C-alpha cells in the first residue's frame, strides 16, 4: 500500500506508484480536435481523459495496485456516454521486471497527437527500475512499445509541455539504493531530465544536475524524487517538495523553463510543508495547494512574484485529497484521509471558490477513498474511481459528482480494483 510513503519516503520503504500532481487542463490541437490533459497524484493507477469523438470524452486508467503487494499492467477506458468501462485491446507492453509484476512507480502523459505515453517504474531495491516506455493509440485502443528513456527511473515527474511533448524529470533508480538495470545510480537518475518528442518518438536528454554542477539550483542540485509538479500558464513547470530518497524531505520549489532549458529557484512552501501534495492551477494562473501539516490550511503561489501566501482554511481537515479544477473555475477537493498518518480514508468533499477565496463543504462521496482518481469529463461532471477504503480494501467502484447540483451518484465499477 502507498500509505507510509505519501508524505515522506525512506530507503527501507518499498517504492509505490506515485505520479505527478498536475491538475490543470489545456487543449492540445491534433487532427482538428482538442485533447485535454488531466493528471494527478495517484497510487491507484494512472489516468487521462481524451476525446473519442467530437463531443464525447473518455477516461483511460492504466496500471495500479490491486492487492497488498501486486500491481497490474492492464488498462481500461470509461465512456461517460454509456457509463461503462472496457479493457484496452492489450495490456501495456512492458512491466517492470520485479516481483510486483505490474506498473509501480511509473508515470504517464497525454501527447500532442492524442496518444498516451507510459514510461518507467519499478518498486524494489534490487535494481529493477526500468526505462521502458509504451504508447496508447485511442483510435486502435491498443498499446505498442516505443523508444526507451535514457534513464531507468521510478517515482519521477512527467507531464506534457506546451506543444505536446512529454518532459520526464528526476526520480529514483533501483529502489533508490541503485544502480538500476541500466547501471545508473540514484545520483545520476535523480538529477536528470529528458524530453520525449511525439513526432519522432525519440527521447533527448535535457538539463542534468549533479552534485557540484554550478547550474544546479535549490534541491535540484542533489538527487531528488517524488516532486509535486504542475504546468504553469506560461509553459514553465513548477516542481515542489520531494525527498533525497533517504530521510530528508524538501519544502523548496523550482521552476523549469523549457525555452531556456534551465531550472531556477522560486519561493519555498511554508516551513514543515513537506511531502507529496496536489497542485491545482487556477484560471488566473495562480496555483492552489492544501497543507500536509494540518490538512486544513491552504496556500496560493503567484508565478509572477514567486511567493506563496495563505488563503482561507478548509472547513475541516482533509489530507491527500484530489484537487480538481471544475468547469466554472472552482476547485473540488475530494477524499483523502482524516489525519496525516494516512490511515483512515474519508468521503469528505470541499470546494474552493477563487473569487471569494473561501472553501465550502459539499455533499460527501458515497464511499470513503484515498489514492483514487478524480477527473472532469466532457459535460463538466467529475468521475471518481478506485482507491483504498476502510480496512485497506482496494476499490473498483466509481461515482459521479455533479457540480451544479452538488450531488454524487454511483456509476459502473472498473473491471479491476485499482
Q: Which residue has the cell 503487494?
A: 69
Residue 386 buriedness (CB in 10 A; 0-12 / 13-18 / 19+): buried
- Of 98-107, 211-220, 297-306, 372-381, the least confident: 211-220
For cell 475541516, the residue is 316
Backbone angles phi, psi at 77, to 5 degrees: -125, 135
Average pLDDT of the segment spanning 5-12: 21
pLDDT tens digits for range 151-162: 999 999 999 999
Contact 41, 299 (CB under 8 A): no
Give the pLDDT band of residue 127 (cuts 50, 70, 90): confident
What are 129's three cell numbers? 527500475
Radius of gyration of the chain, Cα coordinates, nearest whole angstrom: 19
State mean pLDDT over 137-160.
95
Residues 6+ apart with CB under 8 A from 299: 269, 270, 273, 288, 289, 290, 291, 308, 309, 310, 311
Alpha helices in 37-87 (DSSP H): none
Question: What's the pLDDT tens digit per position in 230-240?
Answer: 999 999 999 99
Cα gap 376→396, rounded to integer Å: 18
Confidence of residue 74 (pLDDT cuts 50, 70, 90): very high
pLDDT at 221 (0 to 100): 57
CA distance 64 to 58: 19
pLDDT score for 11:
24
Amino acid at each position: 500500500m502507498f500509505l507510509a510513503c505519501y508524505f515522506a519516503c525512506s530507503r527501507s520503504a518499498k517504492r509505490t506508484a506515485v505520479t505527478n500532481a498536475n491538475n490543470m487542463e489545456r487543449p492540445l490541437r491534433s487532427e482538428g480536435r482538442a485533447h485535454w490533459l488531466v493528471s494527478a497524484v495517484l497510487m491507484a493507477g494512472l489516468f487521462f481523459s481524451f476525446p473519442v469523438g467530437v463531443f464525447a470524452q473518455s477516461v483511460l486508467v492504466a496500471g495500479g495496485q490491486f492487492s497488498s503487494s501486486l500491481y497490474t499492467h492492464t488498462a481500461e477506458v470509461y465512456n461517460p456516454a454509456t457509463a461503462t468501462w472496457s479493457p484496452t485491446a492489450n495490456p501495456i507492453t512492458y512491466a517492470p521486471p520485479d516481483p510486483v509484476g505490474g506498473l509501480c512507480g511509473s508515470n504517464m502523459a497525454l501527447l500532442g497527437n492524442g496518444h498516451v505515453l507510459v514510461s518507467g517504474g519499478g518498486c524494489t531495491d534490487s535494481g529493477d527500475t526500468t526505462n521502458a516506455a509504451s504508447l496508447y493509440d485511442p483510435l486502435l485502443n491498443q498499446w505498442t512499445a516505443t523508444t526507451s528513456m535514457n534513464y531507468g527511473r521510478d517515482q519521477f515527474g512527467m507531464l506534457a509541455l506546451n506543444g505536446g511533448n512529454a518532459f520526464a524529470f528526476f526520480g529514483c533508480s533501483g529502489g533508490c539504493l541503485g544502480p538500476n538495470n541500466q547501471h545508473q545510480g540514484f545520483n545520476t537518475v535523480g538529477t536528470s531530465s529528458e524530453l520525449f518528442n511525439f513526432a519522432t518518438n525519440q527521447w533527448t536528454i535535457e538539463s542534468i544536475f549533479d552534485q557540484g554542477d554550478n547550474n544546479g539550483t535549490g534541491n535540484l542540485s542533489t538527487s531528488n524524487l517524488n516532486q509535486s509538479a504542475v504546468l504553469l500558464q506560461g509553459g514553465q513547470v513548477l516542481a515542489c517538495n520531494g525527498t533525497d530518497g533517504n530521510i530528508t524531505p524538501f519544502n523548496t520549489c523550482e521552476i523549469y523553463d523549457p525555452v531556456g532549458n534551465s531550472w531556477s529557484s522560486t519561493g519555498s512552501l511554508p516551513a514543515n510543508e513537506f511531502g507529496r501534495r496536489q497542485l491545482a492551477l487556477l484560471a488566473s494562473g495562480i496555483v492552489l495547494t492544501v497543507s500536509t501539516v494540518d490538512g486544513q490550511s491552504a496556500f496560493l503561489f503567484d508565478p509572477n512574484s514567486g511567493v506563496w501566501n495563505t488563503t482561507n482554511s478548509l472547513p475541516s481537515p482533509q489530507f491527500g485529497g484530489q484537487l480538481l479544477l471544475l468547469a466554472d473555475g472552482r476547485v473540488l477537493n475530494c477524499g483523502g484521509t482524516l489525519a496525516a498518518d494516512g490511515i483512515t480514508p474519508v468521503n469528505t468533499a470541499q470546494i474552493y471558490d477563487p473569487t471569494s477565496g473561501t472553501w465550502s463543504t459539499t455533499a460527501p462521496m458515497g464511499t470513503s477513498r484515498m489514492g483514487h482518481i478524480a477527473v472532469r469529463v466532457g459535460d463538466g461532471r467529475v468521475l471518481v474511481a478506485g482507491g483504498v477504503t476502510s480496512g485497506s480494501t482496494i476499490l473498483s467502484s466509481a461515482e459521479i459528482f455533479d457540480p451544479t447540483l452538488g450531488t454524487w451518484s454511483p456509476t459502473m465499477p472498473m473491471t479491476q480494483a485499482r
